[in-house]
Amino acid sequence: MDSFLFVLSTTLMYSAPLIFGALGGVVSESSGVINIGIEGIMSMGAFVAASVAYFAGDPWLGFIAGGIAGGVLSVLHAVASIFLKADQTISGVAINFIGSGLSIFLCGLFFDGKNVTTSIKNKLPKIFNNSNFSVDVTVLISFLLAILIWFVFYKTKWGLRIRAVGEHPATADSLGINVRGIRSCCVILSGFLSGLGGSAVTLAIVSQFSPFCISGQGFMALAAVIFGKWKPLNAYLACVFFGFSQVLSIVFNGPESIFPSVILNTLPYIFTIAVLIIFVGKSIPPKANGISYEKEV
């Protein structure tokens, strides 16, 4: 039982950052804008969250600041892909480079040339915390956000408009829906959620920013979006699966393991690639996803 509780709590802990990023991907891509810049946005969110929490002494302030930083960075993607009609994939790649590079540069600027931040004393609190089972508050927040986004998407007129813009933007435009406005809001919200994902890493798991603290989690979140067929609750479950794959690499990487640690550390990424190979042709994205829209005069 103790082993089961350890695996469950650790799975939830590693799933939370992925869930924030995946929900961001679902929101953006449901409106018709591909956002593969989640990795870079999470890196920026992770740095800002750790820095603000350290200097302000408040992890909650750092958590929100990380989300805001992600939203600010995603404005670049919104402007380039929606208003300037740049290729959305290339714009996302640029965001990855900008987010990762800028976070390391700023880290050196604020922490005496170091590429890691000083460890914070107070991390985000845990809901349950005992020797057998502990749950970070980010686990609860990510779960509630998944439920909220599902409700908005399928039970409100705002969700209907988002999905309409992602499927048939011209039809939505003819009905008076502001396609650019909705897509811009969704991309910025996607950045905010992804920034929260980065914050969850540095404020709930590792307690400091380093260049490798995200290490592909943004791309795993994107895989969860595809695995979950662009639906918030499905993406949530996909993230739990990827979180479990990270736990497997820990469980089997003990002193008596017969497998090389290098191989075990790659398990989450192997699972990610396998999922993409299996589901990329079977999961159908929104029809207008990745297609720039220009209002007809």
What is the rounded distance in angstroms from the CA atom of residue 239 to the CA atom of residue 241?
5
- Asked if residue 56 belongs to a domain, the reply is yes
121-130, 178-187, 236-245: least confidently modelled range: 121-130
Please, are residues 16 and 196 in contact by the beta-carbon 8 Å criterion? no
What is the rounded distance in angstroms from the CA atom of residue 83 to the CA atom of residue 239?
32
Give 129's strand partners. 134
Residue 254 has pLDDT above 70, yes or no: no
- Asked if residue 231 belongs to a domain, the reply is yes
For residue 74 the two structure tokens come to 């995603």
- Asked if residue 230 belongs to a domain, the reply is yes
- Asked if residue 297 belongs to a domain, the reply is no
Proportion of the chain above pLDDT 90, given as a percent: 71
- Asked if residue 206 belongs to a domain, the reply is yes
- Asked if residue 292 belongs to a domain, the reply is no
Domain count, the chain: 1
Mean pLDDT of 236-240: 94
- Asked if residue 262 belongs to a domain, the reply is yes
Residue 5 has pLDDT above 90, yes or no: no
Report residue 261's pLDDT band, with 50, 70 and 90 as the boundaries: low
Please, are residues 228 and 237 in contact by the beta-carbon 8 Å criterion? yes
- Asked if residue 128 belongs to a domain, the reply is yes
The CATH number of the domain where 243 resides is what? 1.10.3470
What is the rounded distance in angstroms from the CA atom of residue 16 to the CA atom of residue 196?
10
Domain that holds residue 214: 2-279
Nearest to residue 193, comparing CAs of 98, 293, 68?
68
